[in-house]
């Protein structure tokens, strides 16, 4: 027991003595591995594991310093890189020489830092005057684009991109900016850390982003002469301002009223800045904008001058002349019509008020208080035939209990008492909600817009009821009309619309609703839908449009012909099965209650009209089988497989055909061709391509298959009146000759 304790103590002592040596050895290994990687790869790997050596180990110390100097330099930390280099210089060249590869890497780093500093004067010159530095000036320092310090790289390529831009070579300018500058910025590099670089990169980034919107917008404008506008702000780069001029034109022509004058002022400034001739398309648009802005300002100035005199004096001279349409100021239109009305309230007043009402209803312009006051004043001056208020009161009392009239009343719709006018509109709109409900709501809205009317709770309740009733009717009609339109367009009923069946205002819509039910699934609901249509017709006798009558006829025909259609289809199928052909014509129907029959129709139509509808019929069959879980007999499966193979063979297109044809016309004897190199489809939808394929197949085996393919060629030419070119005509005749030699 005591002996074990003794050996344990000795072992611990040995470990304590050897540990520093072992640690030191491990550090030397890490340093040497990193140094060798640094020499071979121009990069420093795993430097975080390096412990700074003591200066008593000068060789390792200068390795460490050089590795970190290079790392700092590549990481844009020039100050720390300089500090590491000073440490190396203090150690001295005698130690450098003892480290293989050191001096070479040291001098490379010094040269790179020299290149970094050499570009600074060029950058300062560029910042002072952007156009003072050319691409050639920058490229005189080729070392600058090969160093790892990203600030120098960014400055170098930014000045080159800028010079391309100033020379109008936007494609190269964009390419350099995107492939160099954007990639650098996408790393951890921050251009704001370099004096003057951050704003430059931000400005050019914003410019190119704006160009992405400008380019297609300008092309569209040139094609259509309709400006799509432009949202992006494009910074001005003084050496080439043509893109900025286009941006201003797009904005001005899109919103001439809002920004036309402002954009025109900017365009004039840009014209002065431009150092290049301005293209004709731009000068033409500037001239157009100038004339538009001038006309708008002139016409508005005239009407506003007369308006100012009128509001001050209350008099409008008889000889005034102004326009009545002001797209940029609809209130000016109201002013013009008001002045017309005040010239002669009795003769022109009512017409002026109607014109103003149209402007307000269409454009809803905001009117200044003076304009509103003059509007009310003119209405007071206009002589109106006010309706009999007594008759209205009787009608109102009759209407209140049940929203209906028991007698006929001669109501007017023009009262001096505007509350009475509103009640008259409410009565007429409610009683005749189908014909005039929405119209009377518009009339009431106009009365409220033009007058200060205090509506009592009783009247408000009836007005709210009219709003609800009209809105409900409109919503019901809208849903059914959408469902009906979908049926007409798609020949099927959408599940997205839940429609009503009662339409008191339009009984034809009752008929449409039940027809939609019938078409939802004609096999199951067709008879029900037609039966309900007959009930509506018997009860309400609506007059049906030709469109609705056509849909009734179509549904009836569908149901009555189902048996005969299936029988016709079955006979055609029996004719089709042996050779995939029909001996006669058939008008295919693609909607059967018997879905097996429908599937057969799709197979025959897709096969017989492969070029036009083969692929579509495959999709139809797939959908039909998914919807109805159809199980096909073996004959149908075989025919479906044939159609599938026809579609698949037709997919390679004309590439193999054209390649084979070039080989064919280049050979004297096409029968000697390596058939494994020839790829031809069985069917081509283009007559010329089909003829070429047959000719080549015949020429490859003239004695065994030549006559078969020659007969096909002759039949197709005769049937479709195919016209050959000289080249194809020659190959057809060559086939004919070769076939003749075999006999």
Greater model confidence, 229 or 102: 229
Residue 297 has pLDDT above 70, yes or no: yes
pLDDT of residue 283: 94
pLDDT of residue 45: 42
Greater model confidence, 181 or 342: 181
pLDDT of residue 184: 86
Residue 227 has pLDDT above 90, yes or no: yes
Greater model confidence, 388 or 239: 239
Q: Is 18 exposed, middle or buried (0-12, 13-18, 19+ CB in 10 A)?
A: exposed
Instruction: Grade residue 385 by pLDDT with cuts at 50, 70 and 90.
Output: very low
What does the pLDDT look like over 671-685, one tens digit per residue? 888 888 887 877 787
Neighbours of 622 (CB within 10 A): 12
Query: What's the length of the chain?
Result: 743
Q: Considering the entire predicted model, what is its pTM? A: 0.43
pLDDT of residue 75: 63
pLDDT of residue 653: 61
Residue 3 has pLDDT above 70, yes or no: no
Residue 345 has pLDDT above 80, yes or no: no
Greater model confidence, 90 or 249: 249
Distance between first and last Cα of the chain: 116
Residue 271 has pLDDT above 90, yes or no: yes
Pair of tokens at residue 681: 């489809």
Pair of tokens at residue 488: 């007409």
Note whether 684 and 693 are within 8 A (CB).
yes
pLDDT of residue 17: 40
Range from 77-91, 274-288, 319-333 carrying the lowest mean pLDDT: 77-91
450-457: Cβ within 8 A, 24+ apart: 450/357, 450/360, 450/375, 450/376, 450/379, 451/376, 451/418, 453/418, 453/419, 453/422, 454/419, 455/419, 455/422, 456/419
Residue 657 has pLDDT above 90, yes or no: no
In the block, which residue shows the tokens 């002139």?
Answer: 298
Residue 115 has pLDDT above 70, yes or no: no
pLDDT of residue 491: 85
Instruction: Grade residue 433 by pLDDT with cuts at 50, 70 and 90.
Output: confident
Residue 205 has pLDDT above 90, yes or no: yes
Instruction: Grade residue 76 by pLDDT with cuts at 50, 70 and 90.
Output: low
Range from 67-76, 511-520, 568-577 carrying the lowest mean pLDDT: 67-76
Residue 369 has pLDDT above 60, yes or no: yes
Q: What are phi and psi of 432, to 5 degrees?
A: -115, 50
Q: Is 463 exposed, middle or buried (0-12, 13-18, 19+ CB in 10 A)?
A: buried
Q: Which of 292-306, 579-593, 673-687 has the highest average model confidence (pLDDT)?
A: 292-306
Mean pLDDT of 295-317: 86
Q: Which of 326-330, 347-351, 387-391, 562-566 has the highest average model confidence (pLDDT)?
A: 326-330
Note whether 739 and 706 are within 8 A (CB).
yes
Instruction: Grade residue 610 by pLDDT with cuts at 50, 70 and 90.
Output: confident
Instruction: Grade residue 9 by pLDDT with cuts at 50, 70 and 90.
Output: very low
Instruction: Grade residue 28 by pLDDT with cuts at 50, 70 and 90.
Output: low
pLDDT of residue 725: 87
Pair of tokens at residue 69: 């100097």
Q: Give residues with Cβ within 8 angstroms of 519, minimum separation 6.
A: 487, 492, 493, 526, 529, 551, 555
pLDDT of residue 236: 94
Instruction: Grade residue 172 by pLDDT with cuts at 50, 70 and 90.
Output: very high
Q: Which of 71-80, 428-437, 644-653 has the highest average model confidence (pLDDT)?
A: 428-437
Mean pLDDT of 46-56: 66
Greater model confidence, 96 or 490: 490
Note whether 466 and 440 are within 8 A (CB).
yes
Distances (CA, A) of 423 to 393, 417, 437, 462, 467: 9, 10, 13, 9, 14
Residue 589 has pLDDT above 90, yes or no: no
Residue 740 has pLDDT above 80, yes or no: yes
Distances (CA, A) of 276 to 167, 213, 238, 240, 270: 10, 23, 11, 7, 11
How much of the chain, in percent, has pLDDT values that exceed 70? Answer: 89
pLDDT of residue 107: 64
Residue 46 has pLDDT above 50, yes or no: no
Mean pLDDT of 688-693: 88
Range from 345-349, 366-370, 579-583 carrying the lowest mean pLDDT: 345-349
Greater model confidence, 167 or 71: 167
pLDDT of residue 563: 62
Mean pLDDT of 106-125: 75
pLDDT of residue 383: 54
Residue 318 has pLDDT above 80, yes or no: no
Closest CA relative to residue 410, chosen from 431, 426, 424, 430 = 424
Greater model confidence, 667 or 99: 667
Instruction: Grade residue 320 by pLDDT with cuts at 50, 70 and 90.
Output: confident
Instruction: Grade residue 708 by pLDDT with cuts at 50, 70 and 90.
Output: very high
pLDDT of residue 339: 87
Radius of gyration over every alpha carbon of the chain, rounded to an integer in angstroms: 45
pLDDT of residue 24: 43
pLDDT of residue 55: 74
Mean pLDDT estimate for the chain: 83
Closest CA relative to residue 341, chosen from 375, 304, 385, 373 = 375
Neighbours of 299 (CB within 10 A): 19
pLDDT of residue 10: 40
Residue 218 has pLDDT above 90, yes or no: yes
Distance CA 553, CA 561 (A): 12
Instruction: Grade residue 264 by pLDDT with cuts at 50, 70 and 90.
Output: very high
Instruction: Grade residue 376 by pLDDT with cuts at 50, 70 and 90.
Output: confident
What does the pLDDT look like over 458-488, one tens digit per residue? 999 988 998 988 888 888 888 889 999 988 9
Residue 23 has pLDDT above 70, yes or no: no
pLDDT of residue 233: 95
Pair of tokens at residue 235: 């910074």
Residue 388 has pLDDT above 70, yes or no: no
């Amino acid at each position: 027991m005591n002996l074990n304790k003794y050996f344990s103590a000795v072992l611990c002592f040995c470990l304590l003595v050897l540990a520093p040596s072992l640690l030191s050895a491990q550090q030397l290994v890490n340093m040497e591995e990193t140094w060798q990687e640094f020499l071979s790869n121009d990069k420093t790997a795993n430097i975080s594991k390096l412990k700074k050596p003591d200066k008593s180990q000068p060789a390792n110390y200068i390795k460490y310093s050089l590795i970190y100097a290079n790392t700092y330099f590549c990481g844009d930390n020039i100050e720390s890189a300089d500090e590491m280099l000073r440490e190396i210089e203090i150690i001295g060249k005698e130690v450098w020489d003892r480290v293989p590869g050191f001096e070479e890497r040291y001098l490379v780093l010094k040269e790179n830092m020299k290149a970094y500093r050499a570009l600074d004067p060029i950058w300062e010159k560029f910042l002072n005057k952007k156009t003072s530095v050319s691409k050639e000036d920058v490229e005189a320092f080729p070392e600058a684009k090969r160093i790892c310090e990203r600030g120098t790289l960014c400055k170098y390529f930014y000045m080159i991109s800028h010079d391309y831009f100033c020379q109008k070579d936007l494609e190269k300018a964009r390419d350099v900016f995107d492939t160099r500058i954007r990639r650098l910025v996408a790393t951890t590099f921050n251009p704001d850390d370099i004096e003057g670089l951050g704003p430059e990169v931000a400005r050019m980034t914003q410019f190119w982003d704006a160009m992405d919107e400008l380019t297609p917008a300008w092309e569209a404008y040139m094609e259509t002469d309709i400006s799509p506008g432009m949202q992006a702000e494009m910074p001005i780069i003084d050496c080439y301002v043509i893109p900025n001029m286009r941006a201003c034109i797009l904005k001005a022509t899109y919103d001439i009223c809002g920004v036309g004058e402002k954009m025109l002022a900017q365009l004039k400034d840009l014209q002065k800045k431009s150092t290049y001739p301005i293209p004709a398309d731009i000068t033409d648009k500037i001239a157009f904008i100038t004339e538009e802005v001038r006309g708008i300002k002139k016409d508005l100035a005239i009407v506003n001058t007369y308006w100012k005199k009128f509001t001050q004096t209350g008099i409008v001279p008889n000889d005034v002349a102004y326009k009545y349409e002001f797209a940029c100021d609809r209130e000016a239109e109201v002013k013009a019509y008001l002045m017309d009305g005040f010239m002669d309230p009795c003769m022109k007043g009512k017409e002026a008020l109607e014109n103003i009402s149209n402007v307000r209803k269409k454009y809803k312009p905001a009117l200044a208080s003076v304009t509103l006051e003059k509007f009310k004043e003119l209405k007071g001056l206009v002589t109106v035939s006010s309706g009999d208020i007594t008759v209205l009161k009787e009608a109102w009392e009759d209407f209140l209990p049940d929203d209906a009239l028991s007698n006929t009343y001669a109501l007017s719709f023009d009262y001096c008492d505007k509350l009475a006018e509103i009640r008259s509109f409410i009565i007429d709109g409610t009683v005749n909600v189908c014909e005039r409900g929405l119209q009377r709501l518009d009339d009431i809205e106009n009365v409220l817009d033009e007058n200060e009317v205090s509506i009592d709770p009783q009247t408000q309740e009836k007005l709210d009821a009219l709003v609800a009733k009209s809105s409900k009717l409109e919503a019901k009609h809208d849903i059914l009309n959408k469902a009906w339109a979908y049926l007409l367009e798609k020949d099927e009923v959408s599940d997205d619309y839940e429609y009503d069946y009662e339409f008191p205002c339009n009984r034809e819509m009752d008929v449409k609703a039940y027809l939609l039910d019938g078409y939802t699934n004609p096999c199951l609901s067709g008879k029900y839908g037609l039966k309900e249509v007959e009930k509506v017709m018997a009860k309400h006798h609506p007059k049906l449009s030709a469109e609705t009558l056509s849909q009734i006829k179509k549904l009836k025909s569908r149901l009555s012909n189902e048996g005969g259609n299936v029988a016709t289809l079955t006979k055609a199928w029996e004719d089709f099965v042996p050779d995939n052909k029909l001996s006669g014509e058939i008008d295919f129907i693609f909607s059967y209650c018997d879905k097996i029959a429908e599937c057969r129709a799709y197979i025959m139509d897709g096969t017989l009209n492969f070029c036009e509808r083969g692929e579509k019929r495959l999709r139809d069959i797939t959908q039909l089988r998914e919807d109805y879980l159809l199980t096909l007999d073996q004959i149908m499966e075989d025919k479906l497989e044939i159609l599938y193979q026809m579609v698949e063979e037709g997919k390679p297109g004309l590439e193999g055909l054209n390649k084979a044809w070039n080989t064919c016309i280049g050979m004297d004897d096409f029968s000697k061709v390596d058939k494994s190199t020839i790829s031809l489809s069985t069917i081509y939808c283009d007559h010329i391509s089909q003829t070429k394929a047959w000719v080549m197949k015949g020429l490859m085996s003239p004695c065994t298959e030549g006559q078969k393919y020659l007969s096909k060629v002759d039949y197709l030419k005769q049937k479709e009146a195919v016209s050959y070119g000289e080249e194809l005509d020659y190959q057809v005749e060559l086939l004919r000759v070769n076939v003749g030699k075999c006999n």
